[in-house]
């Protein structure tokens, strides 16, 4: 179920009124034993707890994590022992094979203001804060659980040893200054003194910072609407126990089966009901791959109907294509809902989407030829435009990931990881941004206007819009009209996409 063999829980944050927060009462047990039981239920057999005063200080915690990481037979989870959350949140991090090394995090401000910020790009954490480190332009908050894949446990151990060396005999002065900055930020919060005391013991956030700065590929599992808290007092623990029941895990799981960044048509016309089909399919025991294959079969039927060249064939093809598209949304939602991701499933889903679309082009081309008005050149142009647009998407993503892999990282002794810290030239004046950078910033500001993001998502002509346009134009008009509309809208989307990427490239 999970690739993690070993969990290290840090019961080091002090509770108000003495002892550690992890030992606060929760029903007839404690926070740490509740979390340990949850992790064992998810398949982690070896759950170890580092506890004050047996592990006397931060340096000892880090040295122990290094030892455990080196001895672990598979992946390692490092977590705050006092985290109270729901099974589905833990499963999203631990049981999702797409996340090798990753963290539990919140995009919506869960844990604010005390949970440390981190910045992600293309789903990957590129900068992570700790009590003693800052992250520029944070996009989400770190929620105290760090999963490290077997491939990265050596890096985790090395990071822990490096940190242990840095904190032995007191933390560096620059780190103290950063914690003081956080103390200023938290001024006026009733919990601030307890949170500052907990921050001083926070080995988990330090390890997250360190592994990101070592260049590891760290992913995100979003907490979504699930419950999360780190109670530091008996009263806070009682409050958490009262609140956790208000978060319906089943509903969150179903809602989050819908992909977060889908197009307009998919989000508003397909996903609202396809997620219930996904749940029905899950209860029937259907697998995502079976649904994917069914969707391809429906798409092939649509293409065959288009190929008849009769009006009834064009109408039947249009309807079949919509059924095929709904089915196609169901497979991904079923995979997310049942958390049955596989490399083959992901490949089939992506590949069959393309096969379906181009089979439909072929069907429309054959249909047009049978109607006595061949449109092969237009069909070829439409296929070329779509393939080239995808090639831009793929190549741009590849170039971005390659840049992230070679991006220089600041040393751990340095609290900031801004450009000055990376080059070691602190104090260099920041140059005035180029015109392209200012245009890009204005472009992104438009994103924050209400509805603008949806206009942008419609302009780029995503798959839901493409299939809707194909169905409507083919049913009402002729294949020639379909290809002309697909080429025109796709052309606008191509120009728009190229302009945005060109700006980003110039702003570098």
Partner 1 sequence: MSALDLYRDDGPLARAFAPLGRAAPPSVLVAVAVVPVLVLAAATGADGSRGLLAAAVAWVVLLGGASRGGALERDRFRWAVPPLLRAGEYTLILWMSAAGCADGPGAGFALLLALAFRHYDLVYRLRYRGRTPPAWLGAVAGGWDGRLVAIWVLLATDALPAGLYALAAALGVLFAAESAASWRSFDAGDRPALYDEGEGEAE
Residues near partner 1, by CB under 8 A = 98-100, 122-123, 151, 219, 259, 261-263, 343-344, 346-347, 350-351, 354-355, 358, 361-362, 365, 369, 374, 376-377, 379-381, 383-384, 387-399, 401-402, 406, 456-457, 460-463, 497, 500-502, 505-506, 508
- CB of residue 81 to partner 1, shortest distance in Å: 29
CB neighbour class for 489 (10 Å; exposed up to 12, middle 13-18, buried from 19): middle
Closest separation in Å from C-beta 337 to partner 1: 15
CA distance 326 to 168: 58
88/152 with CB nearer partner 1: 152
Distance between alpha carbon 363 and the CA centroid of its chain, in Å? 37
Least distance between partner 1 and beta carbon 487 (Å): 12
| Cis amide leading into 379 (omega within 30) | no
Closer of 144 and 332 to partner 1 (Cβ): 332
Smallest distance from partner 1 to CB 272, Å: 18
* b/e burial code for range 246-271 (CB count within 10 A of at least 16 → b): ebebeebbbebbbeeebbbbbbebbb
Min dist. Cβ of residue 462 to partner 1 (A): 4
**Burial level of 387, CB count in 10 A (0-12/13-18/19+)?**
exposed
CB of 150 to partner 1, least distance (A): 10
- On whether the CB atoms of residues 127 and 210 are closer than 8 A, the answer is no
Q: Which CB sits closer to partner 1, 377 or 413? A: 377
Of 442 and 505, the one with the shorter C-beta distance to partner 1 is 505
Residue 74 CA to residue 45 CA, distance in Å, equals: 11
Q: How near is the Cβ of 369 to partner 1 at its closest, in Å? A: 7
Nearer to partner 1, 178 or 357 (CB): 357
Which residue lies nearer to partner 1 by CB, 112 or 344?
344
The rounded distance, in Å, linking the Cα atoms of 382 and 214 is 44
Q: Are 339 and 333 in contact (CB under 8 A)?
A: no
The angle formed by the CA atoms of residues 219, 223 and 226, to the nearest 5 degrees, is 165
Nearer to partner 1 by C-beta: 197 or 439?
439
């991090």: which residue's tokens?
Answer: 93
For tokens 């995009």, name the residue: 107
CB of 227 to partner 1, least distance (A): 25
Cβ distance to partner 1 smaller for residue 127 or 149: 149
**Is residue 90 within 8 Å of residue 339, measured between CB atoms?**
no
Nearest to partner 1 of 218, 410 (CB atom): 218
**C-beta separation of 374 from 368 below 8 A:** yes
Least distance to partner 1, CB of residue 505, Å: 5
Shortest reach from residue 323's CB to partner 1, in Å: 21
In angstroms, the CA 445 to CA 442 distance is 5
**Residues in Cβ contact with 432 at an 8 Å cutoff, skipping those fewer than 6 apart:** none
Q: What angle do CA 183, 185, 187 make, to 5 degrees?
A: 70
Q: Residue 478 in contact with residue 368, Cβ under 8 Å?
A: yes
Task: List the alpha helices (DSSP H) in 308-375.
Answer: 311-338, 343-370
Q: How far is the CB of 165 from partner 1 (least distance, A)?
A: 31
Q: Which is nearer to partner 1, 189 or 405 (CB)?
A: 405
CB within 8 A of 177, min separation 6: which ones? 415
Cross-strand bridge partners of residue 133: 130
Which residue lies nearer to partner 1 by CB, 168 or 381? 381
**Is 171 or 223 the residue whose CB approaches partner 1 more closely?**
223
Smaller CB distance to partner 1: residue 54 or 391?
A: 391
Q: Write b or e for each residue in 207-237: b if 16 or more Cβ atoms lie within 10 A of its Cβ, otherwise e.
A: bbbbbbbbebbbbbbbbbebbbbbbbeeebb
Query: In the complex, what is the shortest distance from the CB of residue 123 to partner 1, in angstroms, rounded to a whole number?
Result: 6
Pairing relationship of beta strands 75-80 and 4-11 according to DSSP bridges: parallel
What is the rounded distance in angstroms from the CA atom of residue 40 to the CA atom of residue 227? 20
For 214, 381, 464, the CA distances from 460, given in Å and listed in that order, are 36, 18, 11
Q: Cβ 452 to partner 1, closest distance in Å?
A: 12
């Amino acid at each position: 179920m999970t690739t993690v063999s070993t969990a290290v829980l840090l019961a080091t944050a002090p509770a108000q009124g003495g002892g550690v927060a992890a030992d606060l009462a929760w029903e007839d047990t404690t926070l740490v034993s509740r979390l340990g039981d949850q992790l064992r239920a998810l398949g982690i057999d070896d759950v170890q707890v580092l506890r004050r005063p047996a592990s006397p200080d931060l340096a000892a915690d880090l040295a122990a994590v290094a030892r455990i990481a080196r001895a672990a037979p598979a992946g390692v989870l490092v977590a705050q022992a006092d985290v109270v959350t729901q099974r589905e949140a833990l499963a999203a991090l631990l049981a999702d094979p797409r996340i090798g090394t990753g963290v539990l995090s919140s995009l919506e401000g869960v844990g604010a203001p005390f949970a440390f910020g981190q910045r992600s790009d293309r789903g990957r954490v590129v900068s992570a804060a700790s009590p003693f480190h800052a992250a520029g332009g944070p996009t989400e908050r770190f929620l105290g659980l760090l999963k490290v894949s077997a491939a990265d446990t050596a890096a985790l151990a090395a990071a822990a040893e490096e940190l242990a060396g840095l904190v032995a005999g007191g933390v560096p002065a620059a780190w103290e200054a950063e914690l003081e900055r956080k103390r200023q930020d938290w001024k006026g919060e009733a919990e601030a003194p307890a949170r500052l005391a907990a921050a001083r013991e926070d080995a988990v956030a330090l390890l997250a910072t360190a592994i990101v700065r070592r260049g590891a590929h760290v992913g995100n599992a979003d907490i979504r609407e699930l419950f999360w808290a780190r109670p530091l007092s008996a009263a806070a623990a009682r409050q958490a126990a009262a609140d956790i029941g208000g978060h319906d895990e089943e509903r969150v799981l179903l809602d989050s089966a819908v992909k977060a960044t889908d197009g307009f048509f998919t989000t508003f016309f397909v996903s609202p009901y396809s997620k219930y089909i996904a749940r029905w399919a899950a209860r029937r025991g259907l697998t995502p791959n079976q649904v994917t294959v069914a969707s391809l079969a429906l798409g092939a039927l649509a293409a065959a109907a288009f190929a008849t060249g009769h009006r009834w064939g064009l109408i039947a093809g249009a309807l079949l294509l919509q059924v095929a598209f709904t089915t196609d949304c169901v497979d991904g939602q079923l995979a997310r809902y049942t958390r049955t991701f596989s490399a083959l499933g992901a490949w089939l889903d992506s590949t069959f989407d393309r096969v379906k679309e181009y089979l439909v082009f072929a069907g429309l081309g054959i249909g047009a030829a049978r109607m006595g008005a061949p449109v092969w050149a237009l069909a070829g142009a439409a296929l070329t435009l779509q393939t080239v647009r995808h090639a831009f998407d793929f190549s741009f993503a590849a170039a971005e990931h390659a840049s992230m892999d070679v991006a220089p990282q600041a040393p751990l002794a340095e609290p900031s990881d801004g450009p000055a810290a990376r080059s070691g030239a602190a104090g260099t004046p920041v140059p005035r941004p180029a015109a392209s950078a200012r245009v890009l910033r204005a472009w992104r500001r438009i994103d924050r206007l209400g509805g603008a993001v949806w206009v942008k998502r419609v302009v780029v002509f995503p798959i839901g819009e493409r299939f809707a346009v194909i169905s409507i134009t083919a049913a009402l008009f002729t294949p020639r009209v379909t290809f002309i509309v697909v080429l025109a809208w796709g052309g606008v989307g191509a120009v728009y996409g190229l302009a945005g990427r060109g700006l980003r490239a110039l702003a570098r």
